[in-house]
Amino acid sequence: MGSPRRFRKKYETPKKLWTNQRIEEEKQLRNQYGLKNATELWKAETIIKRSRRNARQLLARFEEKSKKAEDLLNRLKRYGLLPKTANLSDVLNLTAKDLLERRLQTIVYKKGLANSLKQSRQLIVHGFIAVNGRKKTAPGYLVSVEEEDKISYYKPIQIKKPEEKEKKEEAKVEKIENEKGKEVAEG
């Protein structure tokens, strides 16, 4: 079962780690989408691989209209990876680029909230970006189509003080003003 403190990796590493062509392609994608390291890219590739694998299995069993197929398609449509009229065979055409386009970091940059991808990453990590009014600090957060319009700068909520404290503060202010008035009258 494993230790509850040790989480499993959420990505699969490439079978051949030191292939020049793959390394160059990954480097271009990392620069294009402002990724910190290769593991962020591998996570996106793993998500797409799993979706494609599930679609292939469902197509092989002729279960295009099953509950699992509908769930898979609805999840991918919710994140804007597929058009609303898509079917299972369209899932096989997905790439990691499609998923990288839906990351919060990329969308913040494309909306013009940041001047560069690195700046958008920094704004998110430091807690200056909110999705639907809630602060998000993960640049890899996948933004659904519904949430895309609700991305903005984070505005912390001001907590109102109870009336008793306000009355005490007003009394202090009045006392200070009265003392200043007396000093001016005497001087």
40 has a pLDDT exceeding 70: yes
List the one residue out of 29, 144, 3 whose CA is nearest residue 75.
144
Q: Which helix (H) or strand (E) holds 56?
A: helix 38-60
The Cα 1–Cα 6 span in angstroms is 11
Report the percentage of the chain scoring pLDDT > 70.
Answer: 91
68 has a pLDDT exceeding 60: yes
What distances in angstroms separate CA 94 from CA 26, 81, 89, 138, 142, one per listed residue? 17, 8, 10, 23, 15
Q: Is 2 left (phi over 0), alpha (psi -120 to 50) or beta?
A: left
Domains by residue range for the chain, with CATH: 1-96 (no CATH), 103-168 (3.10.290.10)
> Quick one: pLDDT at residue 160?
64
Q: What is the pLDDT of residues 94-140, one digit of tens each?
A: 999 999 999 999 999 999 999 999 999 999 999 999 999 999 999 99
Q: What is the pLDDT of residues 3-36, one digit of tens each?
A: 778 888 889 999 999 999 999 999 999 999 999 9
- pLDDT: which is higher, 163 or 112: 112
> Quick one: pLDDT at residue 46?
97
Local structure of residue 149 (DSSP, 8 states): G
Give the global pTM.
0.80
What distances in angstroms separate CA 141 from CA 64, 120, 147, 149, one per listed residue? 29, 13, 11, 15
Q: What is the pLDDT of residues 78-105, one digit of tens each?
A: 999 999 999 999 999 999 999 999 999 9
